[in-house]
Amino acid sequence: MKYLFLTKGGAYFPNLTKNYHGAGCFNWYKCMEGDVRLWSELSRNPVELLDYDLIHINLAADDIGLAAEISKYLKESSTKLVVNMDYSINYMDKSVHIHELIADIQACDFAFGVEPAQTNLTHYIANMTTHTKQIKIMLLPHPVDLEYLNKKWIDYEHRQDSLIFHYHKYDGHLDIPWLLCYGLDVKHKIVTGYTNTTWDVKEMPEWEFWPFAPWEVYVDGLSRCKYGFEYRTHKAASRFIMEAAAVGVPVVSTHDSFMGAMLFPSLHNPIEDFKAMRNSLELLTTKDDFRLSVAKEGLERIEKYDFKHSKENMERLVE
């Protein structure tokens, strides 16, 4: 199958080469052993689209409208179009125009979401319209570059006594995570991916703040930690938990993190049950046998999302 990941561009595009190591939707072109190209280049000679068996578009804000735009060139051809939903939160906060999203889904042959809420939303949008085209939809998490991440493994005796918390710009607060971690007997507490300046970091002097960094730099830091924490108030798959599992870092999470349930179910808690989350954090950071057992479980479970299995699942979707 000749595969193309098509995009209008954006901040990540200059780094999308065959040597790119990263997360999320950009792993698909490596997983499928395909190409990644700019629409501004292909639009000069759109007949080149027909050189591909499958064209994949990520329905993020930068690329909304692209699927509908190129579909006119694919009519009466054997080339198929697959789209995936980006974070559902994008549609809730109006960064994506809902009518363009509907048009893109109508234009595709296949679609997928990376977690259940996304997938259900895709089904709903496909079924709510008067569009008669049958669209095959499934739940299909983005691949994780397990081969690369396995090389980053560090033996536990050489790791720091560090808890890493992954910050999410959509939530925009650190108050509750700070409360839940307050007083934990951990030498280093780290916030990674911090981009919000509305919360004064001086309020958390015992925490180390890692700014948003290149993916490889972030992974190097992640692999030196022993414990992870993710507190979400919106539905998402969680690339952080996938990457943490691959480098042996168990993660306490809330029910809004899909991969928390898939990879570390014993550390997965209702978002309103603060006592349960605190208990999970204390258990993880004080009981080495428990930590090692859940880390091993995560390593075993993450394998189903590697490039080999993900490629097989994509082929199953588009067959």
CATH number at residue 104: 3.40.50
| Helical spans, DSSP H, in 93-136 | 98-107, 116-128
Instruction: Work out the average pLDDT over 123-145.
Output: 85
Contact 79, 108 (CB under 8 A): no
Question: Do 283 and 193 share a structural domain?
Answer: yes
Count the domains in the chain: 2
Is position 89 within any domain?
A: yes
What would the pLDDT profile of 207-252 be if each residue is shown by its tens digit?
A: 888 877 778 888 999 999 999 999 987 888 899 999 999 999 999 9
Instruction: Work out the average pLDDT over 138-163.
Output: 94
Between these two residues, 169 and 31, which has the higher pLDDT value? 31
Nearest to 198 by CA among 232, 163, 172, 237: 172
Domain boundary among 142, 160, 192: 142
Q: What does R_g of the chain's alpha carbons equal in angstroms?
A: 20
Q: Say yes or no to pLDDT of 131 above 80.
A: no
Question: Do 128 and 105 share a structural domain?
Answer: yes
Q: Say yes or no to pLDDT of 253 above 90.
A: yes
Nearest to 281 by CA among 179, 171, 172: 179
- Amino acid letter at 298? G
Dihedral of alpha carbons 91, 96, 100, 105, sign: negative
Nearest to 90 by CA among 242, 211, 234, 196: 234
Nearest to 9 by CA among 26, 31, 32, 30: 26
Question: Do 128 and 154 share a structural domain?
Answer: no
Dihedral of alpha carbons 308, 309, 311, 316, sign: positive
Question: Do 133 and 152 share a structural domain?
Answer: no
Band the pLDDT of 85: cuts 50, 70, 90. confident
Question: Do 12 and 58 share a structural domain?
Answer: yes
Is position 15 within any domain?
A: yes
Q: Say yes or no to pLDDT of 302 above 70.
A: yes
Question: Do 154 and 136 share a structural domain?
Answer: no
Token readout for 186 is 């951990």
Q: Identify the H or E element spanning 84.
A: strand 80-85
List of residues 6+ apart from 207 with CB closer than 8 A: 178, 189, 190, 191, 201
> How many degrees, rounded to 5, is the angle at CA 125 between CA 122 and CA 129?
150
Question: Do 212 and 122 share a structural domain?
Answer: no
Euclidean distance between the first and final Cα of the chain, in Å? Answer: 11
Question: Do 224 and 80 share a structural domain?
Answer: no
**What number of other Cβ atoms are within 10 A of residue 171's Cβ?**
16
- What range does the domain containing 169 cover? 146-304
Average pLDDT, the chain: 89
Domain boundary among 142, 164, 180: 142
Question: Do 88 and 191 share a structural domain?
Answer: no
Band the pLDDT of 13: cuts 50, 70, 90. low
Is position 114 within any domain?
A: yes
Contact 198, 222 (CB under 8 A): no
Question: Do 132 and 113 share a structural domain?
Answer: yes
Is position 310 within any domain?
A: no
CA pair distance 83, 72, nearest whole angstrom: 16
Is position 251 within any domain?
A: yes
Nearest to 246 by CA among 184, 191, 296: 296
Question: Do 184 and 44 share a structural domain?
Answer: no
Highest mean pLDDT among 55-64, 85-94, 131-140: 55-64
The pTM assigned to this predicted structure is 0.91
Is position 316 within any domain?
A: no
Question: Do 97 and 60 share a structural domain?
Answer: yes
